[in-house]
């Protein structure tokens, strides 16, 4: 038996949850979010967006948060934030997030959600906050001193999840400590005052991390990502520049041939074929032929998504309407929850 709380345990639990989600979608409320720091890329799409669309279409009530306040946890600018937020809505819609089923909103626009921060902060000790490994890693990566917001943002994330009584949270492995903090906060609030909150569970993706074109994790900051908003030409250019090696015959070997293998995985994701099958087919035709194949696969797969995205780019008013309606719904839910919280705490005057 894996340790409770370990990655393996979470993965096992996620598999069980997936079965329940398919059987009883209405018992769940799914909440996920992304920071609006740039355009969504293929890593986001195959890592989580595709799964969110599936669950939405299964009938799981869904909310998608654009976590704008979290942008300033480890950086000192909100430059381009409005543009990033609108573009993120376009990316979601283009990928199949349906505003009739899913609310998309920014948390800075929902004061009642943010107000949960005060009672929730009182439920965590300083040393519990200091121990969070993801916070530590983000602080080190930022090169900044630990800000008060970075230290307490897992508590803010608990507000994001609990304001709508979210009980299922699709996240990557790095977010598990925050889900643990959220569960702790829910439990402590319920014990101290009255049972208001569910203890949410993480839904981990079992797909391996999506490699960027150089074999490292796909990330905008590494310049190895293919954004959903790229044109076919930009995609071709980025793939053409991706690093391969001097071995002619194409084989799938992520350890020793990270560049070639990342290209194979990219094509595999877009075609539904296996890396080995594609490698065998290309064989001695070499990396030029592989790149041509990858470019075609990616551009064919994303063509309909990109076409929809263009339509939204030309209709910013619609994009804003979607966001405003999402904010309206989130506000309604947050106010109801905040009222329950005030009542549970006896703060009714
Ligand atoms: N912290 C998440 C990230 O960095 C974004 C996020 C904010 C989030 N609030 C959330 C994710 C609530 C899931 C649930 O990607």
pLDDT per residue as tens digits for the range 29-67? 999 999 999 999 999 999 889 999 999 999 999 999 999
pLDDT at 3: 53
Pick the CATH number of 232-313 from 1.10.287.70, 1.10.240.10, 1.10.287.3510, 3.30.365.10: 1.10.240.10
Contact 121, 347 (CB under 8 A): no
Identify the CATH homologous superfamily for domain 7-207+315-345.
HUPs (3.40.50.620)
Cα 349 to ligand 1 centre (Å) = 34
Cα 279 to ligand 1 centre (Å) = 36
169 Cβ closer than 6 Å to some ligand 1 atom: yes
pLDDT per residue as tens digits for the range 214-244? 999 888 888 899 999 999 999 999 999 999 9
Q: What is the 3-state secondary structure (H, E, C) of 29-47?
A: CEEEEECCCCCCEHHHHHH
Contact 161, 147 (CB under 8 A): no
**Angstrom distance (rounded) from CA 106 to CA 328:** 11
Residue owning the nearest CA to atom 10 of ligand 1? 33
Q: What is the mean pLDDT of residues 84-101?
A: 98
Q: Phi/psi of residue 33, each to 5°?
A: -155, 165
156 Cβ closer than 6 Å to some ligand 1 atom: no
For the chain, the domains span 7-207+315-345, 232-313
Contact 224, 210 (CB under 8 A): no
Task: Give whole-number Cα distances, 129 to 135, 178, 242, 316, in Å.
Answer: 9, 10, 40, 40
pLDDT at 5: 62
160 Cβ closer than 6 Å to some ligand 1 atom: yes
264 Cβ closer than 6 Å to some ligand 1 atom: no
pLDDT at 1: 42
pLDDT per residue as tens digits for the range 274-297? 999 999 999 999 999 999 999 999
Going by pLDDT thresholds of 50, 70 and 90, the confidence category of residue 135 is: very high
Residue owning the nearest CA to atom 2 of ligand 1? 34
Vertex 215: Cα angle to 305 and 249 (nearest 5) = 100
Quick one: tokens of 127?
């040393």
pLDDT per residue as tens digits for the range 95-116? 999 999 999 999 999 999 999 9
40 Cβ closer than 6 Å to some ligand 1 atom: no
pLDDT at 208 over 70: no
pLDDT cut 90: percent of the chain above it: 88
Alpha helices in the chain (DSSP H): 7-23, 42-44, 50-58, 81-95, 111-115, 117-121, 126-130, 133-142, 148-162, 176-192, 232-240, 258-271, 275-282, 286-313, 316-344
**Angstrom distance (rounded) from CA 87 to CA 78:** 15
Q: What is the mean pLDDT of residues 72-80?
A: 93
pLDDT at 183: 98
Task: Give whole-number Cα distances, 166 to 29, 146, 186, 348, in Å.
Answer: 5, 29, 11, 25
Contact 305, 131 (CB under 8 A): no
Q: What is the mean pLDDT of residues 160-184?
A: 95
Cα 35 to ligand 1 centre (Å) = 7
pLDDT at 221: 81
**Angstrom distance (rounded) from CA 2 to CA 10:** 9
**Angstrom distance (rounded) from CA 293 to CA 295:** 5
pLDDT at 2 over 50: no
Contact 196, 190 (CB under 8 A): yes
Of ligand 1's listed atoms, the one at least distance from the Cα of 67 is: 7
Task: Give whole-number Cα distances, 93 to 245, 311, 318, in Å.
Answer: 38, 10, 11
pLDDT per residue as tens digits for the range 145-160? 999 999 999 999 999 9
43 Cβ closer than 6 Å to some ligand 1 atom: no
Q: What is the mean pLDDT of residues 323-333?
A: 98
Tell which wins on pLDDT, 266 or 207: 266
44 Cβ closer than 6 Å to some ligand 1 atom: no
**Angstrom distance (rounded) from CA 130 to CA 109:** 28
**Angstrom distance (rounded) from CA 166 to CA 162:** 6
pLDDT at 173 over 90: no
Cα 70 to ligand 1 centre (Å) = 8
Tell me the whole-structure pTM to 2 decimals: 0.94
Vertex 218: Cα angle to 287 and 12 (nearest 5) = 115
pLDDT at 219: 85
Integer-rounded Cα radius of gyration of the chain: 21
Cα 67 to ligand 1 centre (Å) = 7
DSSP state of 26: G
177 Cβ closer than 6 Å to some ligand 1 atom: no
33 Cβ closer than 6 Å to some ligand 1 atom: yes
**Residue 145 DSSP SS3:** coil
Cα 105 to ligand 1 centre (Å) = 13
The per-residue pLDDT of the chain, averaged, comes to: 95
Contact 242, 291 (CB under 8 A): yes
pLDDT at 205: 79
**Residue 105 DSSP SS3:** strand
71 Cβ closer than 6 Å to some ligand 1 atom: no
Cα 273 to ligand 1 centre (Å) = 31
Residue owning the nearest CA to atom 8 of ligand 1? 33
Residue owning the nearest CA to atom 15 of ligand 1? 34
Residue 103 neighbours by CB under 8 Å, 6+ apart:
62, 63, 64, 325, 326, 329, 330
């Amino acid at each position: 038996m894996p340790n409770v709380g370990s990655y393996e345990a979470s993965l096992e639990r996620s598999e069980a949850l997936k079965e329940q989600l398919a059987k009883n979608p209405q018992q769940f409320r799914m909440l996920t979010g992304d920071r609006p720091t740039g355009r969504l890329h293929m890593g986001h799409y195959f890592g989580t967006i595709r799964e969110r669309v599936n669950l939405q279409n299964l009938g799981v009530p869904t909310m998608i948060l654009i976590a704008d306040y979290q942008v300033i946890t480890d950086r000192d600018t909100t430059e381009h934030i409005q543009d990033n937020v609108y573009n993120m809505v376009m990316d979601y819609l283009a990928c199949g997030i349906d505003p009739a089923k899913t609310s998309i909103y920014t948390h800075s626009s929902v004061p009642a959600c943010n107000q949960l921060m005060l009672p929730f902060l009182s439920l965590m000790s300083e040393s519990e906050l200091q121990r969070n490994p993801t916070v530590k890693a983000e602080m080190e990566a930022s090169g900044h001193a630990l800000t008060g917001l970075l230290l307490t943002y897992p508590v803010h994330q608990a507000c994001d999840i609990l304001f709508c009584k979210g009980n299922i949270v699709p996240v990557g492995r790095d977010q598990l400590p925050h889900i643990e903090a959220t569960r702790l906060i829910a439990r402590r609030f319920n014990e101290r005052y009255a049972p208001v909150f569910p203890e949410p569970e993480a839904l981990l993706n079992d797909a391996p991390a999506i490699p960027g074109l150089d074999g490292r994790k796909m990330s905008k900051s590494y310049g190895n990502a293919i954004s959903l908003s790229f044109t076919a030409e930009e995609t071709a250019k980025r793939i053409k520049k991706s690093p391969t090696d001097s071995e002619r015959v194409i084989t799938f070997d992520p350890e020793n041939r990270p560049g070639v293998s990342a290209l194979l995985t990219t094509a595999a994701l877009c075609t539904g074929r296996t890396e080995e099958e594609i490698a065998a087919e290309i064989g001695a035709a070499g990396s030029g032929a592989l790149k041509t194949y990858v470019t075609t696969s990616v551009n064919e797969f994303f063509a309909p998504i990109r076409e929809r995205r263009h339509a939204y780019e030309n209709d910013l008013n619609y994009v804003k309407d979607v966001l405003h309606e999402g904010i309206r719904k989130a506000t309604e839910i947050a106010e109801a929850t905040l009222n329950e919280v005030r009542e549970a705490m006896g703060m009714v005057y």
